[in-house]
Amino acid sequence: MADAAILGASGYSGQETLDRVLSHPELDLLYLGSDSLAGRPATALDQRLSRNGGKPVPSFVTNAEALAGGADLVFLCLGHEEAATLVPPEDGIVVDLSGAHRLKDAAGYEEWYGFAHPRSAELDEWCYAIPELTPPSSRLIANPGCYATAALLALAPIAPAIDHGSVVVDAKSGVSGAGRGLKASSHAGAVLDNVAPYRVGSHQHAPEIAQALGFPVCFVPHLLPIRRGLLATCYVSPTESGLRERLEAAYAGSATVTLLPEGAVPDILRVQATDAAEIGLFEDRSTGRAIVICAIDNLGKGAAGQAVQNANIALGYQQTAGLRLAGVLV
């Protein structure tokens, strides 16, 4: 068994991480961190936390207390700038769900995130980990962003067989991808009955995708009028045949990523509230281009689920321990 601490547990990704830690057969929740709820019981976040199979859920402490408490595993579910300032504990596994440690080039933080990284000399100590593609290789783990996860699951296995200058990623996410903080663009009046692109040409996941692939892509995110779920449609020009075989080889035996049969379309509803991913491959008969589509839940495989999966690998546990893998038939 390992002890876990969650910093920023009152946010969307923090709550989702908490849910998985509480159901994990090998993790004990030691600290529940939130500066806004410090000193209050867990039920201040959700009344359902009064019951956890008879096991008490600890009350909230400050994020600083949770970080310094000596847990074997620490999840950082904080804003980018706040996570960037933290000094990681000397021992144990740390999984950062923010973007604070995803980029290797410190200059990228000023350009794409709008702040100078305060601990830029230590960025090389963090590994960027997508379990199916690049499993964690150090105890400090940078968890990928939701858009980047979907795009990379679709594109990374076929990257050697496509024209790198041809790639377009058209992606759409539920409103929870914008975080729990109040913004005019995420109010119901702006989201309902609407689909809107945002941060066109300047989204912070663009350099993350380019860093992992080794080449830039044209990436445009959109906000969907749904709470959760993400769909990335990737358009590429093949330079070789055998794209399906490459995807099959990458995800053969994966419990989390499913390459759908020919003609089957990935569906947000099937992956919503899960830590699974669906991928579909199609050919555009008019142009000969290939279309690779990936559906994930932005809070699941795009955040908390992937963080727990990365932690499982780092701790030597079964990859799927604590994960949600099955959706609900509707």
State the Cα torsion 30-35-39-44 to the nearest 10°: -90
Tell me what percent of the chain is helix, strand and coil, each rounded to the nearest 5: 35, 20, 45
Question: CB-based contacts of 120: which residues, under 8 Å, 6+ apart?
Answer: 106, 109
Give the burial class of 322: count Cβ atoms within 10 A of its Cβ; 0-12 exposed, 13-18 middle, 19 or more buried: buried
| Residue 41 contacts residue 59 (beta carbons within 8 Å) | yes
Residue with tokens 């779920």, as numbered in its chain? 229
As given in the structure block, the two tokens for residue 55 are 């096991």
Q: In what order do the strands lie in the sheet with 73-76?
A: 60-61, 27-33, 2-7, 73-76, 93-96, 140-142, 127-128
Which amino acid is it at 179? G
Nearest CA to 145 among 299, 327, 324, 311?
Answer: 299
Q: Say if residues 233 and 179 touch (Cβ distance below 8 Å).
A: no
Query: How far is the CA of 174 from the CAs of 194, 229, 271, in angstroms?
Result: 12, 5, 13
User: What are the tokens at 49?
Assistant: 């936390």
Q: Which residues are catalytic?
A: 146
Amino acid at 81: E
